[in-house]
């Protein structure tokens, strides 16, 4: 028998997951949100918030919704924010999601369709959920727990608080962003519309895992220009831009790739390539916990581009780099209230919270570094994110909501 809040989270998640919100990094520079489906979910959230009686809502043109609940205390305390993003990734298809509920997991492998199966032996976390509720895909898309599980948990807490006026709390902000998966969700964030002193992204993974440190991240775009000639008369004249790009990619250290690194080790990743023998565009993702090392990686790619030009005479290779987000650990240490209250809330609930590194980033990382608001990340219960083998555990979603409520309670007593 599910608790009322667990049932509410489940129904919300199923409703949200079915909405097509896959973001598109090819148009995000000119269109925010990058896809119309993200507006569909944002508008639904606004409607549901108003039905709860929450009317102090800002809807920003960049695809950000900020809902505020006034304090019901007789003294002033710091304002707390909770944030989640509505878009899903495009690593595998993220639209047309058909979530399937497993009411009582039997502890074995989970067939998704005739081709794909979630293997128990490859998913150690499954063992703790035998007899409990899981949500999976039909094997054709990702599920979208990143981050619709976070959205559902925040909305369920907002409903409880609005329905039960006896629950004491300070001023709260519930923030929903778009295009997080493209790295552009905070490019036009309306910081002047928020007042939170500290915030939490509900955008993590396995149960009880919390995070206050993430990668520094850069996106590097390299354009290769070749020299076009008829192939029959190409000797000594043609310079193939695809060959230049292949040389460039093959020169990246394999030992410093995503598939060869973990823990604190950073990486180079050739992510997308488009073009012809004449013109090629290559996008690379660079990650490292140490900012100096990240900058060294950027410099290495610039030198590699010069090497490509030297080897392929008359070919050109131009490099543009952009820091997408910074490690949020420094702000977390400078303003410890967010982590202190998170740890205290976990202790009160008897949750064995485990601090981990984010080998990625969150909107909270940019909030921390751009506006000096500490913004740790809290688990949602999603696993195998960005893949067709994604699964989510309802008990973990419920625990996430419980932790949110306890953080609010801890804050109200300070």
Nearest CA to 202 out of 398, 22, 344 is that of: 398
Nearest CA to 206 out of 374, 365, 33, 358 is that of: 358
Tokens of 363: 């909107």
Is the domain 4-214+327-412 a CATH 3.40.50.2300 member?
no
- Cα separation of 391 and 123, whole Å? 10
CA angle (364 as vertex; 284, 355 as ends), nearest 5: 95
Nearest CA to 205 out of 154, 150, 284 is that of: 150
- Grouping H, G, I as helix, E, B as strand and the rest as coil, residue 197 is coil
DSSP assignment, residue 163?
H
Q: What is the pTM of this model?
A: 0.88
Nearest CA to 36 out of 178, 162, 181 is that of: 178
State which H helix or E strand residue 213 sits in.
strand 209-214
Active site residues: 87, 180
pLDDT digits (tens), the chain, 414 positions: 899 999 999 999 999 999 999 999 899 989 999 999 999 999 999 999 999 999 999 999 999 999 999 999 999 999 999 999 999 999 999 999 999 999 999 999 999 999 999 999 999 999 999 999 999 999 999 999 999 999 999 999 999 999 999 999 999 999 999 999 998 889 999 999 999 999 999 999 999 999 999 999 999 999 999 999 999 999 999 999 999 999 999 999 999 999 999 999 999 999 999 999 999 999 999 999 999 999 999 999 999 999 999 999 999 999 999 998 899 998 999 999 999 999 999 999 999 999 999 998 889 999 999 999 999 999 999 999 999 999 999 999 999 999 999 999 999 998
Q: Domain coordinates of the chain in residue numbers? A: 4-214+327-412, 216-325
**Cβ atoms of 186 and 170 closer than 8 Å:** no
Strands 377-378 and 198-202: parallel
**Cβ atoms of 338 and 197 closer than 8 Å:** no
Nearest CA to 180 out of 44, 46, 23 is that of: 23
* The domains spanning 4-214+327-412 and 216-325 adopt the same CATH topology: no
**Cβ atoms of 144 and 136 closer than 8 Å:** no
Task: Name the CATH architecture for the domain at 216-325.
Answer: 2-Layer Sandwich (3.30)
């Amino acid at each position: 028998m599910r608790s009322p809040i667990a049932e509410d989270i489940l129904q919300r998640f199923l409703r949200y997951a079915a909405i097509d919100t896959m973001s598109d990094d090819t148009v995000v520079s000119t269109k925010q949100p990058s896809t119309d489906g993200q507006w569909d979910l944002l508008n639904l959230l606004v409607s549901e918030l108003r039905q709860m009686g929450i009317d102090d809502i800002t809807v920003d043109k960049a695809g950000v919704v900020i809902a505020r609940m006034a304090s019901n205390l007789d003294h002033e305390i710091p304002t707390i924010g909770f944030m989640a993003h509505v878009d899903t990734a495009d690593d595998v298809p993220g639209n047309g999601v058909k979530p399937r509920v497993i009411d009582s997991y039997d502890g074995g492998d989970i067939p998704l369709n005739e081709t794909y199966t979630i293997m128990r032996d490859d998913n150690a976390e499954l063992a703790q959920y035998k007899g409990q509720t899981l949500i999976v895909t039909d094997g054709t898309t990702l599920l979208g727990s990143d981050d619709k599980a976070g959205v559902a948990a925040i909305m369920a807490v907002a409903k409880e608080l609005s329905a039960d006026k006896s629950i004491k709390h300070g001023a709260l902000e519930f923030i929903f962003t778009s295009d997080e998966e493209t790295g552009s969700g905070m490019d036009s964030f309306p910081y002047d519309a928020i007042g939170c002193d500290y915030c939490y992204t509900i955008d993590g993974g396995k149960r009880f895992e919390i995070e206050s440190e993430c990668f520094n991240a850069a996106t590097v775009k390299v354009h290769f220009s070749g020299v076009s000639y008829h192939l029959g008369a190409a000797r000594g004249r043609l310079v193939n831009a695809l060959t230049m790009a292949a040389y460039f990619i093959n020169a990246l250290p394999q030992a410093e790739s995503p598939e060869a690194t973990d823990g604190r080790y950073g990486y180079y990743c050739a992510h997308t390539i488009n073009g012809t023998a004449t013109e090629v565009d290559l996008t690379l993702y660079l990650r490292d916990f140490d900012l100096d090392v990240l900058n060294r990686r950027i410099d290495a790619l610039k030198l590699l581009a010069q090497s490509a030009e030297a080897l392929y005479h008359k070919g050109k290779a131009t490099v543009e780099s952009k820091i997408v987000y910074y490690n949020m650990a420094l702000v977390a240490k400078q303003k410890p209230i967010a982590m202190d209250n998170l740890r205290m809330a976990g202790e009160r609930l008897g949750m064995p919270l485990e601090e981990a590194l984010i080998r990625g980033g969150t909107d909270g990382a940019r909030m921390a570094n751009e506006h000096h608001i500490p913004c740790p990340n809290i688990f949602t219960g999603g696993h195998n994110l960005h893949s067709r083998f994604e699964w989510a555990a309802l008990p973990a979603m419920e625990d996430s909501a419980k932790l949110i409520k306890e953080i609010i309670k801890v804050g109200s007593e300070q």
